[in-house]
A and B are shown apart, each in its own frame.
Chain A
Amino acid sequence: MSIEAEIRRIQVEVEGYAREYGLDFFETIFEILEFDELNEVAAYGGFPTRYPHWRFGMEYNQLAKGYAYGLQKIYEMVINNDPCYAYLLKCNHLVDQKIVIAHVYGHCDFFKNNCWFSKTDRKMMDNMANHGTRIRQFAERFGQETVENFVDCCLSLDNLIDPHAPFIQRGESASSRDDGGDREVMKLRAKGYMDRYINPIEHIQKEREKLKKDKARKMRFPSREQKDVLLFLLYYAPLSRWQQEILSIMREEAYYFSPQMQTKIMNEGWASYWHSTIMTEKILRDSEVVDYADHHSGTLGTRPGRLNPYKIGIELFRDIEDRWNRGRFGKEWEDCDDLYEKHTWDKHLGLGREKIFEVRRTHNDVTFIDNFMTPEFMEAQKLFVYQFNPRTGQHEIASRDTRKVKESILYSLTNFGQPYIYVNNGNFRNRGELLLEHKWTGLELQTDHAADTMRNLQVIWKRPVHIVTVLGGKQVILSYDGKEFKKSDVSRAEKEETPTAAETTQ
């Protein structure tokens, strides 16, 4: 039997088991590639038809070198698309192929059913090809260098999106936009002599202030701060058509990939859970046990300075399954403080499977960790927080306090561990300048990179650009006008104009 036929046979078998377990996925197309082909596809993020760009060459270089020197190896790639595409490495062991195929079905089920993926483009394979064609056309017309430089600019801003936007109607609805004109403060009806008691002067004054502020806010542009900086630029920056189109393409791709970043731990955990379940319960032959164990432990291996998403994910899913099987949840469980009783707690509910299917549908990494990572779990997994120690110049274990561990994980996952940056004002100083605002959460921006990012932003916005942030404990505005950078203190007038981090309402 040829390798292809053999793999095909395994695929059909695994698919059958996956369905038996209740996994639900798009049709999945497997492609078997040589290592250099797989490296190429992986460098393009799974889309062989992607637009040309040097950074894919860079990725390829790293993958190819890693492979050549035996440092790393890609086993598989799965693409969120309908149909799902999965790439297999031809020279893999047949055992490895089994694991990988089972793993792939886990991913496919996750792509299809997890709600954070529900708004992604399921025809991305085609769409990426279209993007590629467009950008190649532009490169032919306007020159590769010009187009590539602009792509670089966009990429430098591609983390300034709003991953929750697909699910929420934000910004102004029509009704909230037009009012506010000459509205007066609403008074309660009262007889003349009672008026000053029923509608006290101070209250009226306060209401007037509020209305005024409201009105001022509505005069602002944008009327409320906007997290999707790319969208704002797309609407309002003076771009030519081709530039607009490229920016829009980059934004679309950023949104396409963002759920994968939001669910890295869950997604890998889920897929690992299923490859392990299907392998050990169904298709593993005796002769393959050793190789399977070797591969599996390699994938789930941990290193001190790093959280392995495969490991944390699978362990957490198993923990949830176990807890719901034995009824270790809810008020009764929480309130119990008899250690012995807790230790032997088992209500034989058997709800585990059902629960994890529900979890994979509704959660993302942040809520997954927040809801289900228990102190017992963190202790069993030996999690710790590390911190940079300026005295020794290295990162050191700082604490094993479970509250801190959880806080730190959540912190690093929220907004992908990146600064919150909003468009605050598109008509700053009434001169059409752009003001971004960095919401202060306790960490400073890296200033040299921030400066270079602003340079790229200015290329797009054309007028001077500013960002208000905190440096050395003081609120400052960093500005770039196309020629030079300036750092200035926030003046009082501007303070009023920019809602400071402290009083933001969200």
Chain B
Amino acid sequence: MVRKIDKDKARFDQIIRGRIKKDLKKYITGREMIGRKGRNIISIPVPQIDLPRFHYGDNQKSGVGQGEGEQGTPVQGDDGQGAAGDQPGQHILEVEVTLEELAKILGEELELPNIKPKGKSRIMAASGRYSGIRRIGPESLRHFKRTYRQALKRQISMGDYDIDNPIIVPINDDKRYRSWTERQNPDNNAVIIYMMDVSGSMGREQKEVVRLEAFWIDTWLRSQYKNLERRFIVHDAAAKEVDEHTFFHIRESGGTKISSALVLCNQLIEEKFLPYEWNIYPFHFSDGDNWSGRDTEKCIDVLKDNLLPVCNVFCYGQVKSAYGSGQFKRDLDKVFNDDERVISSDIPDRDAIMDSIKDFLGKGK
């Protein structure tokens, strides 16, 4: 039987995906929930639609909190008044999510297929992970908190607990141990080669979009490959290899020759990453405003002759700069229309990041 709520949920999902009621799409929020908070701590992206109402602007608000702290101590912003009216007694726990779990959530949310690594080296390696509790196990894996709790419970219920002298002595029955599950992981090497256009038209917001997108790509591919390397190439009219920090912070100016990056990328692969040992993922981000049609032709040649035969897939993401989006994606699509090895995607703003991840990684390559 279809539950009533499933219909409402389906309708909500359709609005979120922009299939119906497109005018509501602008009220979708949840952007802050995507992205890294602190080290590896993350909140789950939950889309939400806030219907417009007459209300005060957020930043003018002050409020009352409870706890320690001097004047000037920052307060974690948290202004959820809760759903109107109902009285569900709920409490929110903060959980830490590891990158691995994060990738799993991402995979489930976007329905990403597992990647089939190319090449013959499809060796599986087993790895363990602590995921549960059991009553037997080696002392080295004893779970102190659980054991203590169990012993405390027992002593209280047996009347052995002395408030003035609260000593808890666990007996064998109280002891709890961590248990683990084994997982099979593909033992494979992969390299991501990020290329970014840093010409004058790429602003800070565009780079932020690329950074966020790269974070998610890393997260996902890391869950799929045991050994992941990353290389970074920036280019305007000429290309050079840089480290990660420089990649996201450099600001150049000048024109755009996309071919320069592709040539350098190819060089890198030839020198360091033998195609039969590595799964190779070149990602290129640009606003698509290439120098000339001639250069675009050159790009296509390099792709066809050199890159595509050795790469798993070539991904091109076109961000939107203050000057609009260029021609490059259209040119690319025209040539490689049916070629599964080339994936291009538009990323007009931060909200489009999830969709474009799905474009890139949804094919399972």
Contact = CB atoms under 8 A, between A and B. Distances in A.
A408 B9 contact: no
Nearest to B77: A395
Contacts of A156: 51-53
B66 interface: yes
A127 B5 CA distance: 19
Nearest to B49: A58
Contact of A438 (B4, B54, B75, B76): B54
Contact of B20 (A145, A312, A385, A419): A145
Interface stretch (A239-247, A358-366, A441-449): A441-449
Interface stretch (B83-91, B117-125, B192-200, B329-337): B83-91
A65 B15 CA distance: 18
A486 interface: no
Interface string A13-43: 0000000000000000000000000011011
A60 B4 CA distance: 11
Interface stretch (A70-78, A200-208, A332-340): A70-78
B141 interface: no
Nearest to B83: A59
Given A70-B95, A100-B89, A397-B65, A287 B56 contact: no
A386 B58 contact: no
A60 B86 contact: no
Interface stretch (A301-309, A322-330, A424-432): A301-309
Which has the most chain A C-beta neighbours within 10 Å: B7, B67, B68, B76?
B67
Interface string B1-39: 001110111111101000011001001000000000000
Contacts of B68: 304, 382
A421 B54 contact: yes
A286 interface: yes
A43 B5 contact: yes
A75 B90 CA distance: 6
Contacts of A310: 89
Interface string B74-112: 111111011111111111110101000000010000000
A71 B86 contact: no
Interface stretch (A169-177, A186-194, A342-350, A450-458): A450-458
B184 interface: no
A250 to B, nearest CB: 12
A457 to B, nearest CB: 9
Interface string B163-177: 000000000000000
A291 B153 CA distance: 9
A206 B315 CA distance: 81
Contacts of A69: 44, 95, 97, 105
Given A40-B3, A54-B12, A418-B55, A107 B64 contact: no
Given A70-B95, A386-B64, A394 B74 contact: yes
B127 interface: no
B153 A290 contact: yes
Contact of B75 (A40, A268, A299, A396): A396
B61 interface: yes
B138 interface: no
Contacts of A392: 74
B60 interface: yes
A446 B55 contact: yes
A495 interface: no
Contacts of A399: 71
Contact of B54 (A257, A264, A286, A418): A418
Given A70-B95, A257-B84, A260-B87, A388 B71 contact: no
Contacts of B7: 52, 57
B52 A397 contact: no
A55 B49 contact: yes
B159 interface: yes
Contacts of A287: 153, 156-157
Contact of A72 (B3, B13, B93): B93
A284 to B, nearest CB: 11
A382 B69 CA distance: 9
B53 A71 contact: no
Contacts of B73: 304, 396-397
Contacts of A91: none
Interface string A362-387: 00000000000000000001111111
B188 to A, nearest CB: 28
Contact of B63 (A43, A54, A385, A446): A385
Given A287-B157, A384-B64, A446 B57 contact: yes
A299 to B, nearest CB: 6
B78 A408 contact: no
B152 A159 contact: no
A311 B64 CA distance: 13
Interface string A70-93: 111111111000000000000000
B55 A76 contact: no
A381 B65 CA distance: 10
A8 interface: no
14 contacts: A45-B83, A61-B12, A61-B13, A71-B44, A71-B93, A71-B95, A290-B153, A303-B78, A307-B64, A308-B66, A385-B65, A396-B73, A421-B54, A467-B54
Q: Which 7 A-B pairs have the closest CB atoms?
A: A257-B85, A287-B157, A57-B8, A57-B12, A452-B52, A57-B9, A446-B57
